[in-house]
Amino acid sequence: MALPPNKERSRRLRKKMRVGEFQEFGFEYELKVRQALAPEQEEALMDRFVRELLVPRNLAAAGWVREGFVTAFARGSATEDDRQATQAWLAAQPEVAEATVSALKDAWYLED
């Protein structure tokens, strides 16, 4: 969904729509694995991702092993520090050949 046309909105509506000062950011990740992973190996990798990175930083992710999107668990945004920590954590995993993390982007509306 593209960002709705810019017009005067009340603070309450901006908050509800997550625009303006209430805009929320996240980032995409993409992985290339060293070799094909069995379902149990994929689940183990994602379990570590959640326990070691997402939960301690109060983040949430949608997606699975090869690609996904990370944002704040509750209202708010992922930070540049979260993005860099995710890049470093993913790249350090033995199953991962290459990890790419995008720049921060609007978590609710597609960029044109």
Question: What is the average per-residue pLDDT within 52-73?
Answer: 97
Lowest mean pLDDT among 2-6, 52-56, 69-73: 2-6
> What is the predicted pLDDT for the residue at 90?
97
Nearest to 54 by CA among 37, 40, 74: 74
Q: What is the 3-state secondary structure (H, E, C) of 55-98?
A: CCCCEEEEECCCEEEEEECCCCCCCHHHHHHHHHHHHCCCCEEE
- Confidence band of 58 (pLDDT split at 50, 70, 90): very high
Domains of the chain with CATH codes: 27-106 (3.30.70)
**Rounded to an integer, what distance in angstroms lies between the CA atom of residue 70 and that of residue 63?**
9
**Rounded to an integer, what distance in angstroms lies between the CA atom of residue 86 and that of residue 80?**
10
Tokens linked to 16: 């509800």
> What is the predicted pLDDT for the residue at 21?
86
pLDDT at 106 over 70: yes
